[in-house]
Amino acid sequence: MASESISDASVAPCWPALTRRPPPCPDLERQVEALLGTLSLGEKVGQMIQAEIRSVTPEQVREHRLGSILSGGGAFPG
């Protein structure tokens, strides 16, 4: 992986290329792994979904444990 480019200018041409990666943080990695270990696969999937506010109900947010709700582009909270 060291030979792979950190930044792909064809994907984000306006962003500056990174010249180095941030240093590893083992304590933070352990905390993240511990937290992820408490979630079921369904909860992990739900956290990765960002539903648009007009397409989801509060009950669905709770049922599927959605990670966030997108409110924009003319969609206003009701």
pTM > 0.85: no
* Predicted confidence pLDDT, tens digits, the chain (78 residues): 444 555 555 666 788 888 888 899 999 999 999 999 999 999 999 999 999 988 899 999 999 999 999 887 776 666
Residue 26: what pLDDT?
95
Residue 14: what pLDDT?
82
Three-state DSSP string of the chain: CCCCCCCCCCCCCCCCCCCCCCCCCHHHHHHHHHHHHCCCHHHHHHHHCEEEHHHCCHHHHHHHCCCEEECCCCCCCC
